Amino acid sequence: MNIHHWTGADRRFRVFASPASWIEGASVAQLRLLAGRRGFLSAAAMADLHPGHKGPVGCAIETEGVIHPDLVGTDIGCGMALFALDIEQRQLHIDKAFKALHGLHEAVDAGDRAHQAAIAPDYAPGMGTVGGGNHFVELQVLDDRADEAACDAHGLRRGALFLLVHTGSRSLGPEVLERHGVGERGLDLQSPEGIAYLADHDRAVAFAAANRKLLAETAASLVRGNARLITDQPHNFVEPRPGGRVLHRKGAAPADRGLSPLPGSRGAQSHLLLPEAGPGEALASLPHGAGRKRDRAGMSDRAKDGDRPPRANPLGNRIICADRRMAAEEAPDAYKNIARVLADVEEAGLARSIARFRPIVTFKTAEARGR
């Protein structure tokens, strides 16, 4: 194991990344600031670590009985869900699929939306919507099976189509954070305030998972197929742990709930991870993707020099993104190399890839907005 501890001798912090991985200094600085948080015990960062608005993204943070809602952030329950389609790549008419997927939001059934949003009816308009930022619905093909037996066990066939869905709880998450917002002091796990936050948090987590399911089912119907859930893993959430501890995950997927998607950028392959025992210092966590290499503002500025964001890319997938600013901010070169992130995961013994997926069509947004 050749894992670089960027945080030096302070054993409360671990960064599971090799020296070959680009880790921005600002994100490590944000990580170290967590030591001042009430109840702080330790933090585990992954190779996708990057700076966020209020704190580092790509890490797990454990406290002694204190919930810090601001560390989970606004998009409570945001995560990645992978669904298998009952369609082979060779059966797919790519042009038809590309055209049909433009209508993803319009195709969501009103009754299904209301049903899935029953847990938070006031937020029903957001149910079955992708949202902005790095969210997407992506049609993929399984193009390599590193572990054939594991793939067989889950019915993952080479050449079959899949849907990878990345979205969250839409406007519900921000509302929950604001309502329980407590600055940096946090909430005691056992207090009425802590219990109340957890209840609303859990609703947002469920809402987000329902959103991913509804989007996958709708996208599947647009390509004349049916979606079967392989795995759904949140990466922005908090959970009580044995011994009165609280584990926060901010851009980190759980390593103790089975298979976990590891998406690359929208111009790269994705993987499906099978978690391994791993060291306890990793706080039962995995990276949630490639992680940003360049911030959004920088990417947006670069695009103002007249370059149209590319609709295609080296892997040949087509991207539905009518919002040019979003396309610039989310361009593949804003992200780290997923192969490098995966190598660090495997080297650290956190997980291994059992399958690799190539993007075919990516849905971001069909509405033009930014310039």
Partner DNA sequence: ATGTAC
Q: Could you give the residue numbers annotated as active site?
A: 288
> Would you state the torsion angle of the CA atoms of residues 194, 196, 197, 200, taken in this order, to the nearest 10 degrees?
160
How far is 280 from 150, CA to CA, in rounded Å? 24
In angstroms, the Cα distances linking 98 to 49, 89, 141, 258, 362 are 32, 14, 14, 31, 8
How far is 337 from 225, CA to CA, in rounded Å? 31
- Residue 39 in contact with DNA, rule: CB under 7 A: no
- Residue 245 in contact with DNA, rule: CB under 7 A: no
- Residue 123 in contact with DNA, rule: CB under 7 A: yes
Taking CB under 7 A as the rule, which mask of x and - marks residues 171-190 in contact with DNA?
A: x-xx----------------
Per CB under 7 A, the list member of 134, 260, 285, 353 interacting with DNA is: 134
How far is 264 from 285, CA to CA, in rounded Å? 18
Q: How far is the CB of 65 from DNA (least distance, A)?
A: 27
In a 3-state reduction of DSSP, which class is residue 225?
coil
Nearest to DNA of 135, 318 (CB atom): 135
Q: Would you say 46 and 70 are in contact if contact means Cβ atoms under 8 Å apart?
A: no
List of residues 6+ apart from 295 with CB closer than 8 A:
51
- Residue 261 in contact with DNA, rule: CB under 7 A: no
Q: Is 329 annotated as a binding residue?
A: no
CA 329: distance to chain centroid?
16
Q: Is 138 annotated as a binding residue?
A: yes
What is the C-alpha end-to-end distance of the chain, expressed in Å? 46
Q: How far is the CB of 55 from DNA (least distance, A)?
A: 13
Length of the chain counted residue by residue: 371
How far is 14 from 31, CA to CA, in rounded Å? 10
Per CB under 7 A, the list member of 39, 126, 261, 287 interacting with DNA is: 126
Nearest to DNA of 69, 131 (CB atom): 131
Q: Is 317 annotated as a binding residue?
A: no
- Residue 131 in contact with DNA, rule: CB under 7 A: yes
Q: How far is the CB of 335 from DNA (least distance, A)?
A: 11
Q: How far is the CB of 126 from DNA (least distance, A)?
A: 5
> What sign for the dihedral angle of Cα 140, 337, 48, 10?
positive
Q: Is 102 annotated as a binding residue?
A: no
- Residue 298 in contact with DNA, rule: CB under 7 A: no
The alpha helices in the chain, defined as continuous H runs, are 25-33, 69-72, 94-101, 104-107, 110-116, 148-153, 172-180, 192-222, 296-303, 324-329, 338-347
How far is 108 from 221, CA to CA, in rounded Å? 10
Q: Is 289 annotated as a binding residue?
A: yes
The region of 73-81, 241-249, 258-266, 300-308 touching DNA under the rule CB under 7 A is: 73-81
Q: How far is the CB of 302 from DNA (least distance, A)?
A: 18
Q: Is 134 annotated as a binding residue?
A: yes
- Residue 132 in contact with DNA, rule: CB under 7 A: yes
- Residue 168 in contact with DNA, rule: CB under 7 A: yes
- Residue 133 in contact with DNA, rule: CB under 7 A: yes
Q: Is 136 annotated as a binding residue?
A: yes
Binding site, annotated residues for GMP: 134-138, 235-236, 270, 288-291, 364
Binding site, annotated residues: 134-138, 166, 235-236, 270, 288-291, 364
Which residues would be at the binding site for DNA (CB under 7 A)? 53, 74-75, 78, 123, 125-126, 129, 131-135, 167-168, 170-171, 173-174, 369
